[in-house]
Amino acid sequence: MARSLHRLTAVRVARTKAPGMYADGGSLYMRIAPGGSKQWVFRYVRGGRLRDMHIGPCHTFTLAEARGRATEARKLLIDGIDPLTAKRARTAALRAADAKAMTFQQCVDGFIRDNGSSWGNPRHAREWKTSLIKHVYPVLGPLPVAAIDTPLVLRVLKPLWERTPETASRVRGRIENVLGWATVHHYRGGDNPARWNQHLEHALPGVVKGDHLAAVPYTDVPALLARVRQRGGVPAKALEFIILTAARLGEA
């Protein structure tokens, strides 16, 4: 009488090359693909359907290890549990755990990777990340993005808001963007703790923008230019350049 279990041997597993399904017994099979790759498969019937659960490649799992996995699967079937469904649930749980471990800094890199190509100005792209490295990373950088809440965001923003509120406002918006990206990718859930409307606006004062300086009437420009030319030095030359070319201050 043929054995119902342990039909294969380690030597046969290593030497067999022909494509096909080779039964070891107990629903465990070695599957050889036409290309020559070898996989361990647990084949069973559930709800009237034939199902295959991949255990792993033969070069990674030994025959003894594959038999151990098959034994675990048979025990689940005895308990009324679909082993393939249980395997998928374990995989999903592990992926969720990895997602929760995603740090804020890693999410910044992901956001820039997905959106940086739309930023036409390389200087803006550099300044975008540099501001986070300087102002945000010391507090939020290494933290799991799923753990970031409103008090942590305020720890970053409040000191900066008191010194340079306009910079703090830009940084807040960037934190909001990164946390929004993380939510879309299921690295965190819930409301965005860096949101301004109906949220941080109650904890931080609004940014007061200064008034623009009055412009010189165009009819007075020739007289102004004559006065500028009477002065020496680089600042006067730069101002003359700005008047003649309408260049921005930073460009000049």
Q: pLDDT tens across 105-120, in order?
A: 999 999 999 988 888 7
On whether both 92 and 61 belong to a single domain, the answer is yes
Domain range for 113: 104-202
On whether both 138 and 169 belong to a single domain, the answer is yes
Structurally, how many domains does the chain consist of? 2
Q: How many CB atoms lie within 10 A of CB 28?
A: 25
Q: Whole-angstrom Cα distance, residue 83 to residue 90? A: 10
Per residue in 52-83, pLDDT tens? 999 999 999 999 999 999 999 999 999 999 99
Q: Whole-angstrom Cα distance, residue 27 to residue 13? A: 16
62 in any annotated domain: yes
On whether both 111 and 196 belong to a single domain, the answer is yes
On whether both 131 and 196 belong to a single domain, the answer is yes
CATH number of the structural domain spanning residue 61? 3.30.160.390
The pLDDT score that the predictor gives to residue 1 is 37
Per residue in 8-67, pLDDT tens? 999 999 999 999 999 999 999 999 999 999 999 999 999 899 999 999 999 999 999 999
- Rounded (10°) CA dihedral 131, 169, 120, 179: 80
Contacts for 41 with CB less than 8 Å, ≥ 6 apart: 21, 28, 29, 30, 31, 52, 53, 54, 55
Q: Whole-angstrom Cα distance, residue 55 to residue 57? A: 7
CATH number of the structural domain spanning residue 124? 1.10.150.130
247 in any annotated domain: no
